[in-house]
Chain A
Amino acid sequence: MLRPETPEQSAFRAEVRAWFEAELPPSLRDLTFRPARELIMPWYKRVSQRGWLAPEWKRADGGMEATPVQQIILIEEAARIGAPDLPTQGVHQIGPILRRFGTKEQQARHLPPILAGDILWCQGYSEPGSGSDLASLSTRGRVEGDEIVITGQKTWNTWAHNADWMYALVRSNEDAPKRQNITFVLIDLKTPGITRRPILTLADDYELCEVFFDEVRVPLENVVGEVDKGWDIVTALLTNERVQIGSPSNALRALQRVRRIVRLLGERLDASGRDKVAQAEIEVAALTAAFLQALEDLAAGVQCDASYLKILASETTQFVLDVEQGLCGPAAALKSPERVGEDVIDFSELFLQSRRLSIYGGTNEIQRGLLAARVLELPKGR
């Protein structure tokens, strides 16, 4: 953030910084991988209790009604200290969906454990045959009495092997047209008939999982919205949450690492390296400005286009990590981070992981297509 802070904002920054310094265990700082569930969840709970898990939320929902600048301050301070990425599928995805579309019972049952950090959720949309063309999905959900019986396979499910529940899309009606026979359902992953297999990624971590369903019986009360009407939920604009996809959090975290390497290199950094570092600084400043303005627009009731933010945030992060790779020279291929003096320097792990940013959440090609159609109003693509 380039703008000056008000005294209140500076005080808030000081408070956040002091709190992070005091509360965040050193073992959780500057990690490149998501720590194991049992290691990360105590921290998740502490952040949640502090009201900073989803700071933009209303107080009644467990947030702090943070202003746009406060949100940026939190993001910047988390990046500065190297706070770990939290498993926030529950908070950012299913939570808002349940608040808008869930029944009172569903909300009362599922929302509190998400905030408390007792239950982890995963998303079950993609299938081997259905990625970008999600509406072609083929996992069946047959309604039988007061149950929906699920058979099929989901895949690329982030952290599903660590999750307790999955929110998923299933095809509930063979006869109706493609988008009018999809049901949105909540599945307890302990239900009999479910098999999970973690998937090792290119970045050598078990971030993903595939999940098989064999006649899995789920009570109909776990359907969100109506049977066959699930597609409306997926495509509903949850503006507040969608803006978060433009968070500069990953990019700032990457930039922090670039800065450390720059400092270590000192005079050894050549002119071309300096130019790239400056570019990285500028691109992250632009992303931060864009995100801040999207939040301000939102607060003023102006809708923001999430495709633009997603493309910008993901590609800025990837760019910064490209720069980091370049700076590392002969060490760029090293697998694990190393401690150098006071700093932890990592070489390739974030770079490898960052490939995913332009794939998940709708690939950047799909986002560009959406942007061309909806914002630029170009003729239907071919």
Chain B
Amino acid sequence: MSDSASERGLLRDSARRLLDTGSQLGRTRAARASWPEVDRKIWGEVCLAGWPMLLASEVDGGWGADASDMVAVLDGVADLLAPEPFAASLVVAPLLLACGTSSARAVLDDMVEGRSIALTALGETFPMAGDPTHVVAEAQWADRIVCADRTGGAFRLLAVEREELDQAWPARRTVDDGSLRFFSIEGVAGQELGLGPDIQGAFEAAGNLLRLGAAASLVGVAQRAFDMTLDYLKVRRQFGVPIGSFQALQHRAASMHVGCMAARALVREAALAVGTSNEGRACAMAKAKASAMAVGLVKECVQMHGAIGFTNEYDLALYFRRAVSLASSYGGADMCRQQVFDDTVQAFIKEQAA
């Protein structure tokens, strides 16, 4: 959509104006206190402003924003730690529109008009009780879950109402006061939104965008944690001098800066690959890099703060827990690296053969 950095800046600023109520992470902490209840006031405004249609094309009544716009916005708002499922919601509209069915359109209308939030679940397994096959993040917000049904070989996209899952598959709390709902769709009716390979492609694209979005958010979270730490290095004094004058800390801070900048560069580059044959690999690269960088960085931030950094009261704790949670969502660093390896080696062998 936007060609210039300044237009992207405007987009980011308008998202910030909505999500930043000036509460200085007060909303984040309130969400923590009321978990799993959510306050939908700001979400209503997000919908009213039309954000769920950010990535939908203009023909479909969307904003026609591209992946580069998305990462600029998400990197730019991540420091707010807004409780709303802003990032996760963005990929839903293009996926539903790709279905082209009336059932999908209805789910989208409910979402856009703020009646019912639909979020996308990805296929992941973990040997928990019941052997779940899917997981949806920010589950306390998800009234509906859009997920894949691959039973019987063909690909079907389903919408599952949260009530269908509540009994057997309750949402579990995450360290950052979000939630994950692990589930399997065995015995779940759901509603068919579309089927066939094209829809499967759209679903995979949504998964890639979720990864890329999480990578952008990780960079934003890491940047904020780093900035807090730089401030602290300048004001905290020990041995009569600011601790930031100790070279041991300076050099580590420089490494953190390098890591954060490189991850941001990779996320931006990966966004340019969305929609090309490089998309899956690029998004996996971005997510792997951003996850490893952010988790490593926030650990260093805590260390450089000493005990205050280990308290819940100090905001660094919120960034730390957010980074940890995002890093494992939609495919953690290890899983993404597996994909990178598979795709890269294939590409290399193909190129050599050609």
Q: Which residues of A contact B (CB under 8 A)?
A: 1-4, 259, 262-263, 274-275, 277-279, 281-283, 285-290, 292-293, 307-308, 311-312, 365, 367-369, 371-372, 375-382
Contact = CB atoms under 8 A, between A and B. Distances in A.
Interface string B247-280: 1001101110110011101101110110010100
B341 A275 contact: yes
Contacts of A369: 247, 250-251, 254
Contact of B245 (A263, A283, A379): A379
Given A275-B341, A278-B337, A281-B285, 8 more contacts: A2-B285, A263-B349, A275-B334, A286-B289, A367-B254, A378-B242, A379-B241, A381-B245
B297 interface: no
A17 to B, nearest CB: 11
Contacts of B276: 3-4
Given A274-B338, A286-B262, A372 B250 contact: yes
Nearest to B344: A281
B30 interface: no
19 contacts: A2-B270, A4-B272, A4-B273, A4-B278, A275-B341, A281-B340, A282-B288, A285-B282, A285-B285, A286-B262, A286-B263, A286-B266, A289-B265, A369-B247, A372-B253, A376-B253, A377-B234, A381-B247, A382-B246
A368 B269 contact: no
A278 B245 CA distance: 37
User: Lowest 8 CB-CB distances: which A-B pairs, in order?
Assistant: A289-B269, A3-B272, A278-B337, A372-B250, A368-B254, A290-B265, A286-B266, A289-B265
B344 A278 contact: yes
B285 A308 contact: no
A308 B282 contact: no
Interface in B336-353: 337-338, 340-341, 344-345, 348-349, 352
Interface string B267-308: 011101100101001100100110000000000000000000
A311 B268 contact: no
B262 A379 contact: no
A263 B337 contact: no
Contacts of B282: 2, 285
A278 B251 contact: no
Interface in B38-58: none
A375 B257 contact: yes
Nearest to A279: B337
Given A278-B340, A308-B261, A376 B266 contact: no
A281 B254 CA distance: 23
Contact of A282 (B251, B285, B345): B285
B244 interface: yes
Nearest to B339: A278
B96 interface: no
B257 A376 contact: yes
Contacts of A382: 241, 245-247
B244 A368 contact: no
B233 interface: yes
A155 B59 CA distance: 67
A299 to B, nearest CB: 13
Contacts of A375: 257
Contacts of B263: 286
Contacts of B234: 377-379
Interface string B220-255: 000000000010011000000110111100110111
A378 B232 CA distance: 10
B244 A308 contact: no
Contacts of A372: 250-251, 253-254
B230 to A, nearest CB: 6
A213 B345 CA distance: 53
Given A2-B285, A381-B250, A285 B352 contact: no
Contacts of A285: 266, 269, 282, 285
A378 B352 contact: no
A44 to B, nearest CB: 28
A379 B243 CA distance: 9
A259 B348 contact: yes
B58 to A, nearest CB: 21
A363 to B, nearest CB: 11
A312 B348 contact: no
Contact of A371 (B257, B281, B285, B337): B257
A89 to B, nearest CB: 26
B345 A286 contact: no
Contacts of B245: 378-382
B289 A2 contact: no
B266 A263 contact: no
Q: Which of B241, B245, B334 gathers most chain A CB within 10 Å? A: B245
A2 B273 contact: yes
Given A2-B270, A4-B276, A369-B250, A379 B244 contact: yes
Nearest to A375: B257
Contacts of A275: 334, 337-338, 341
Contact of A368 (B251, B266, B348): B251
B249 to A, nearest CB: 8
Contacts of A371: 254, 257-258
B128 to A, nearest CB: 23
A233 to B, nearest CB: 26
A158 B245 CA distance: 34
Contacts of B242: 378-379
Contacts of B254: 307, 311, 367-369, 371-372, 376
A289 B286 CA distance: 11
A18 to B, nearest CB: 14
A263 B288 CA distance: 23
Contacts of B244: 378-379
A88 B340 CA distance: 35
B224 to A, nearest CB: 15
A151 to B, nearest CB: 35
A382 B248 CA distance: 9
Contacts of B344: 259, 277-278, 281
